[in-house]
Structure 1
Amino acid sequence: MEALLRWSSAELGTVSPAEFIPVAEQCGLIQEIGLWVLRTACAQMAQWSRKGFGQLTVSVNLSTRQMHNGDLLRDVLHILDSTGLPPARLELEITESLLMEKVEENVVLLKTLRACGIQLAIDDFGTGYSSFAYLKRLPIDRIKIDRSFIQDIGRDGENGAIVTAIISMAHELDMQVVAEGVEAEAQRQFLLRAQCDIIQGYHLARPMPADTAEASLQSFLPVSAAGLQD
């Protein structure tokens, strides 16, 4: 699972994160919003676990302010403790460009988070010009290839070559690879041949609220377990 932020306003209708997140960052609300998202996502995962949905993992994006806030580690551990979600069930996503802003500080922070059992992923990989020398030092579990490379698979041979190279490089560094924005069967087939580990995108499912996601999860439960659900 990945936690996605959506705003349904009575006055404005559906507002895209591309519109309200920059505003939240500018006016200083992003820290509070980020903590709310993290707490809500962890609580939902813990609830689903109690309902028998197995070892689900949730990915939550971190903002620049959260990364540079000295209380991040304390806040994350407090939320995990209060919700009862094991650290290994939480994955924190950091964009490639954010990682490269304060490399040395980020390396220390990520190693501390990883030592606590929290999983880590680089989001939008391929857009931030990261150095492989730094990449191999980071305790990263997964690389998420930016959707801009996935969309042109089959139409642009260079993008296909780049995706294949990223997958190969990540596997050499013992990292898994997630392809973002997969919308077509041809893309899935290409990624399967390239040995990509995980795909996400509209080809599998569109973003959905928690109650709809829970209904979908029901279909994956064994019959005996499904009969025990609320």
Structure 2
Amino acid sequence: LAGPDDFVARVGADDFGFLQSISGNTLPPADLADRIVTALGAPFEFGGKDAACGASVGVTLYPFDATEDERLMQNAELALQQAKQRGGNQFRLFETNMAERTRNHAALDSRLRLAIDRKEFELYYQPQVSSATGQIIGAEALLRWNSPDRGMVSPGEFLPRAEENGMIVPINEWVLMEACREAKSWHRMGLGPIKIGVNLSPIQFQRVNVSALVVKALSATQLDPRCLDLEITENIVMEDSESVVATLRQIAELGATISVDDFGTGYSSLNYIKQFPLDRIKIDQCFIRNMIDNPSDHAIVRTVANLGHSLGLTVVAEGVETEAQANLLKADGCDVMQGYFYGKPMPAADFIAMMRASRKLELTA
């Protein structure tokens, strides 16, 4: 790929610089970067065995992006970081806002580390209601960050970054422990066996022993495993399905249940779903939002409900906001409802008050 006027050098342990001299016959920089990624991603023989490697490429242009050597190297490094953060095995062209984005990420990373140390996170709980009885039978634990400097920080602002930098691992470990502790306290209050839903991140399956974390949380809190529901997304299996399935089976053997969250929006096949030791599927709210006016969305909801029941699974509808939606979902066979129609995510104290009021109504009915 290198021409007679190009220059290639090793600049780090696994970093290489490619200096392209532009002329009328050279490839455009983006095309060259794409060819480098493709060439280095191709399998090759090494030591008599087939091998493969990947490459991420950052591209900067002289004199458009900078004219100083040091600044050009910094630009290329920033673009390279962006390529790696997007999953690797691709190239990125330098953009002027990359430096600002990197500074913002660094500042957010610092604040997240402090938030973990200072215990600034808290859990909100959104009720889950039986469509058959109207009773609260569970809740999904949802993470909130109450920053002393910025107030309540939107999960959409910090959770994606926590996934990127790996901080989601200690954060989710705390979420699991805190949710189990809270659910056990509800049992001691006499509020009944409430099932608590906790979301698991794909990063956790890659970096830690998830089943060991579940054992640790259940042992520390003495929560009945049947009251813990672990929510995964469909794309968790895409990395290493055999390992994930083995982990989920270990969790199922403990007595905890497993749900597939946002069902219908991922990329896994029904063959993967069949392999999982699943108990529940949660229909994504994007289908429920327009199901009243959109026959296609309604057909998807009905089909998923039928599929779930044919596999012996409980079907949960997320994002239920109106009585009309609730009635239609009940007619379609959805077993459990969750959404603003039944209650927004709320602090633990408010959820306890809601459960107590619900129990009083049941006793007087």
Give secondary structure in 1 for the equivalent of 2:316: strand
Q: CA deviation at 1:29?
A: 1.4
Give secondary structure in 1 for the equivalent of 2:262: strand
- 5+ residue gaps, structure 1, are 226-230
Q: 318, 326, 330: which one pairs with 1:188?
A: 326
Task: Give deviations 1:15-51, integer Å, cap 9, x for gaps.
Answer: 1111101122223211110011111100001011011
2:205 aligned with 1:67:
yes
CA RMSD of aligned residues (A): 1.5
Corresponding residue of 1:46? 184
2:162 aligned with 1:24:
yes
What are the residue-to-residue correspondences of 1:50-129 with 2, within 5 Å?
A: 50-129=188-267
Name the larger-Rg structure: 2
* One-letter code aligned to 1:211: A
Q: How many residues align?
A: 224
Q: Do 1:59 and 1:93's aligned partners in 2 also have CA atoms closer than 8 Å?
A: yes
The structure with higher relative contact order (CA 8 Å, sep 6+) is 1
* One-letter code aligned to 2:172: G
Corresponding residue of 1:154? 292
User: Normalization by structure 1: what TM-score?
Assistant: 0.93
CA distance in 1, matches of 2:295, 2:239: 31
Higher strand share: 2
* One-letter code aligned to 2:307: M
CA distance in 2, matches of 1:26, 1:166: 31
Corresponding residue of 2:78? none
2:295 aligned with 1:170:
no
Q: CA deviation at 1:222?
A: 5.2
* One-letter code aligned to 2:235: S
2:153 aligned with 1:6:
no
Task: Give deviations 1:66-119, integer Å, cap 9, x for gaps.
Answer: 122342111110110110101111010001122333222211111111011110
- 5+ residue gaps, structure 2, are 1-138
Q: Do 1:183 and 1:202's aligned partners in 2 also have CA atoms closer than 8 Å?
A: yes
Q: Do 1:97 and 1:127's aligned partners in 2 also have CA atoms closer than 8 Å?
A: no
CA distance in 2, matches of 1:21, 1:213: 23
Q: CA deviation at 1:131?
A: 1.0
CA distance in 2, matches of 1:26, 1:136: 30
Q: Do 2:236 and 2:244's aligned partners in 1 also have CA atoms closer than 8 Å?
A: no
Structure 1 window deviating more from structure 2 (71-80 vs 19-28): it is: 19-28
User: Normalization by structure 2: what TM-score?
Assistant: 0.59
Q: Do 1:5 and 1:17's aligned partners in 2 also have CA atoms closer than 8 Å?
A: yes
